[in-house]
Amino acid sequence: MQKLNEFWSNILETLSASMSQVSYDVWIKTLVPLCIVKEKLILITPSLSSQAIINKNYLDEIRTALAKRCRESLCNDDLKDVENFNVTDAEVITEVQKEEYIEKTNAVAAAAVIADKKDDSDAVFMPKYTFDNFVVAESNHLAAMAAQAIAEDPGSTYNPLFIYGGVGLGKTHIMHAIGNYIRAKNPALKIVCVPTEKFTNELIDSIKNSKDTREFREKYRKADILMMDDIQFLSGKAGTQDAVFHTFNDLYQNGKQIIMTSDKPPKEISHLEERLRSRFLSGLIADIKPPDFETRVAILKKKALQEKYNVDPVVINFIAEKIDSNIREMEGLLSRVVFYSNLVGKPANNLTLANEALKDYVDVKKESLTAYDIIDACCNYFNITKSEITGKRKNKEVVEPRQIAIYIITDMLSLPLISIGQLFGGRDHTTVIHARDKIADKIKSDPRTKAKIIDIQTYIAEVKR
Contacts with Mg ion by CB under 5 A lie at 171-172
Q: Which is nearer to Mg ion, 233 or 280 (CB)?
A: 233
359 close to 465: Cβ distance less than 8 angstroms: yes
Q: How far is the CB of 285 from ligand ADP (least distance, A)?
A: 15
- Picking from 185, 187, 256, 175, the residue whose alpha carbon sits closest to that of residue 220 is 256
Q: How far is the CB of 27 from ligand ADP (least distance, A)?
A: 17
Q: By CB under 6 A, is residue 456 in contact with ligand ADP?
A: no
Contacts of 138 (CB under 8 A, 6+ apart): 289, 292, 295
Q: By CB under 6 A, is residue 168 in contact with ligand ADP?
A: yes
The residue within the footprint of ligand ADP, chosen from 45, 94, 159, 172 (CB under 6 A), is 172
Q: How far is the CB of 299 from ligand ADP (least distance, A)?
A: 4
Q: Which is nearer to ligand ADP, 197 or 331 (CB)?
A: 331
The residue within the footprint of ligand ADP, chosen from 44, 112, 162, 171 (CB under 6 A), is 171
Q: Which is nearer to Mg ion, 171 or 402 (CB)?
A: 171
Q: Which is nearer to ligand ADP, 70 or 136 (CB)?
A: 136
Q: Is 350 helix (H, G, I), strand (E, B) or coil?
A: coil
Q: How far is the CB of 169 from ligand ADP (least distance, A)?
A: 4
Phi and psi dihedrals of 153, rounded to 5?
A: -150, 75
Q: By CB under 6 A, is residue 33 in contact with ligand ADP?
A: no
Please report, as residue ranges, which positions from 128 to 147 form the binding site for ligand ADP (by CB under 6 A).
129, 133-135, 140
374 close to 460: Cβ distance less than 8 angstroms: yes
- Single-letter amino acid, residue 198: K
Q: How far is the CB of 244 from Mg ion (least distance, A)?
A: 18
- Picking from 315, 322, 320, the residue whose alpha carbon sits closest to that of residue 338 is 315
Q: 257-262 and 89-94 as β-strands: parallel, antiparallel, unpaired? A: unpaired
Q: Which is nearer to ligand ADP, 129 or 216 (CB)?
A: 129
3-state DSSP percent of the chain in helix, strand and coil, to 5: 65, 10, 25
What is the dihedral sign for C-alpha 249, 250, 253, 258?
negative
Residues 171 and 143: their CA atoms lie apart, in Å, by 9
Q: Which is nearer to ligand ADP, 182 or 334 (CB)?
A: 334
Residues 316 and 311: their CA atoms lie apart, in Å, by 7
Distance, first Cα to last Cα, the chain: 38
Interaction mask 313-352, ligand ADP, x per CB under 6 A: --------------xx--x---------------------
Q: By CB under 6 A, is residue 173 in contact with ligand ADP?
A: yes
Q: By CB under 6 A, is residue 296 in contact with ligand ADP?
A: no
What does the binding site for ligand ADP look like in residue numbers (CB under 6 A)? 129, 133-135, 140, 165, 167-173, 299, 302, 327-328, 331
